[in-house]
Structure 1
Amino acid sequence: MNTLQQARDQVLCQIRQACAQAGRDAQTVQLLAVSKTHPSEMLREMHAAGQRAFGENYLQEALEKIEALADLNIEWHFIGHVQRNKTKQLAEKFAWVHGVDRLIIAERLSSQRDVSQEPLNICLQVNIDAQDSKDGCQPADAAELVARISQLPHLRLRGLMVIPAPNNPQAFADARQLFDLVKDQHAHPEDWDTLSMGMSGDMAEAIAAGSTMVRVGTALFGVRDYSKQA
């Protein structure tokens, strides 16, 4: 068994253990492999180990990987900050976009998604604990944004994405509460099924609070080498 297979198996085991402790079914938590700065060859190996969903933060790097790995059945997630001038490529090339925090961004993604494609899955990014260094809408603005974004064509607004400060489990609880509160504002509440939160160091706390998707990089691929960032 190769190292990446072992790493993935270990993370899946941790997810199962966290779900068991929280009284949840492990099938309700998806593992998103955060592969930024790691070469396509590592993603190909991780795919061979059984991983299908990969998250990228840097658009140019992601586009190169999408082309290099076009022969594989990969669900591509964009989890970085969404710039207005980059929405066309995001709308065309990705299955999910997690960093939507403004109506104008959602409107651009909706208008630029090809009608022949499946609707683009998106998450509303919320700055759940008011960090100056983090993107995301304010929690108080989430309900109105959900109401408006969920009516746009060619999109499926699936839920919320948060990146709390380290060692702040209360933020996970706050995100779950907000997730439940704003569901009633969704034009298609049956689509509202994703709470994207938790990373390598805080998966268990996020799952205990109700995360349905954990974004894991270091525990799967090892420490990132940012000198190779595209």
Structure 2
Amino acid sequence: MSLAENLANIKRTLRQPDRPTLLAVSKRVPASVIREAHALGMRHFGENYLQEALDKQDELHDLKDIYWHFIGRIQRNKTQEIARHFAWVESVDRLLIAQRLNSARQEVSTPLNVLIEVAVSSEDSKGGCPPAQLVALAEGIQQLPFLRLRGLMALVHPDPNQANVNFQQMHSLFNTLLQSGNYPDLDTLSMGTSSDFVQALEHGATEIRLGTRLFGSRHQEAT
């Protein structure tokens, strides 16, 4: 199926076509296909690998209304480039990384939107802040003037039953932060991928990450 058909099918599954935010996971997707997605109305694109993303940003520099999200693991020596070239960073899992992003963002006119990645799946292959440390990390980020704490993100367990537990936990953690009143910019709960986004929406996701569901398996192998 074409990209346009895939996008139309996705939107038909949503109760509100303009909600949630559709984050196109565009790793390994050529810039030409991202341009096509942009022409279809997509504006948010998530990249895992810094150099690949920078190359695409350069090729697509004429598209001024793209919002680039960095969604991969963050290496300390790459925080400066990430802070300078992205509008969102969705994989902040410790205060040191947040502090380095904050320092580098001083050179940009707008604050950097960040999500805290929370480790709820109990899988070693997935990163994230332990839930017990979430409040402390959120409080630390809130003190950094060049960052805006927008919400939480998680990659859940592949088993549907365990995923359901993870989604419930994320919704609860998000509500705890929201109800504290300490985080005025908090509005984003990012969870759900091509295989489980419908389930994620049932648990309050405001952003879903779609790779194979949107672009097909030619470019995406495991998103």
Task: Answer whether TM exceeds 0.5 for this pair.
Answer: yes
Aligned-partner SS, 1:77: strand
Structure 1: distance between partners of 2:218 and 2:50? 17
Q: CA deviation at 1:115?
A: 4.6
2:169 maps to 174
1:90 maps to 82
The number of residues matched between the two structures is: 217
Q: CA deviation at 1:3?
A: 1.5
Aligned-partner SS, 1:131: coil
1:214 aligned onto 2:208: yes
Q: Which has the higher contact order (CA 8 A, sep 6+)?
A: 1
Q: CA deviation at 1:184?
A: 5.0
Q: How does 1:66-145 map to 2 (within 5 A)?
A: 66-72=57-63, 73-145=65-137
TM-score, normalised via structure 1 length: 0.89
> Unaligned regions of 5+ residues in structure 1, if any?
17-24
1:147 maps to 139
Per mean C-alpha deviation after superposition, the further-off stretch among 58-67 and 3-12 is 3-12
Percent sequence identity over aligned pairs = 47
Per mean C-alpha deviation after superposition, the further-off stretch among 113-122 and 141-150 is 113-122
TM-score, normalised via structure 2 length: 0.92
Contact 1:7 1:219 (8 Å CA) reproduced:
yes
Structure 2: distance between partners of 1:100 and 1:47? 26
Structure 1: distance between partners of 2:78 and 2:21? 27
Structure 1: distance between partners of 2:81 and 2:206? 26
Structure 1: distance between partners of 2:181 and 2:76? 24
Summarize deviations over 1:56-105 as a string: whole Å, max 9, x none.
11111001001000001210001000110100011100000000001000
Tell me the C-alpha RMSD between the 2 structures.
Answer: 1.7
Pair 1:6–1:26, CA change in 2 (3 A): closer
- Indicate the structure with greater helix content: 1
> Unaligned regions of 5+ residues in structure 2, if any?
none
